[in-house]
Amino acid sequence: MKNYLQNGHIVRVTTPAGGIASGDALIVGSIFGIAAYSSAEGDPVELSTTGVFQLPKASAAVLAVGARVAWDNTAKAVTTPAAGRFPIGVAVEAAGSGITSVAVRLDGVATAAA
């Protein structure tokens, strides 16, 4: 295909104010991804938008395998879907109360729930 650009699993965006560290989550518009490397504000950074990543989890959230999960951009943690949170994928492991991280399969889109 002469119009093919890339597979979309990794996309390049401009690093926001404050910069970003390798492995940190970032929302740019409706794109959710994990930074492939550290980058300073204004520089390009590549985000992995799909795949399975171990991410910080809200301690009180209880997630079952296969549960839809959302990103709380204020707390910078995976939690249950609710208003103002960004759906990002599904949990691929169970994570109960008191657990502070969870494996998540990203779906690459983060649209704030109403």
Higher-confidence position of 56 and 30: 56
d(CA 93, CA 1): 38
pLDDT-derived band of residue 14, with 50, 70 and 90 as boundaries? Answer: very high
Mean pLDDT of 75-83: 95
114 has pLDDT over 50: no
Q: 90 is in which domain, residue-wise?
A: 52-107
Whether residue 89 is contained in a domain is answered as yes
Residues 59 and 97 in one domain: yes
* Residue 97 in domain: yes
What's the mean pLDDT in 42-71? 97
Measuring CA to CA, which residue among 113, 99, 27 is closest to residue 69? 113
Q: What is the pTM of this model?
A: 0.89
Q: How many domains does the chain have?
A: 2
Please check whether residue 101 lies inside any domain of the structure: yes
Are 61 and 85 members of one domain? yes
Q: Are residues 62 and 100 in the same domain?
A: yes
Share of the chain above pLDDT 90, in %: 81
Is residue 72 domain-shared with residue 103, that is, in the same domain?
yes
Residues 60 and 93 in one domain: yes
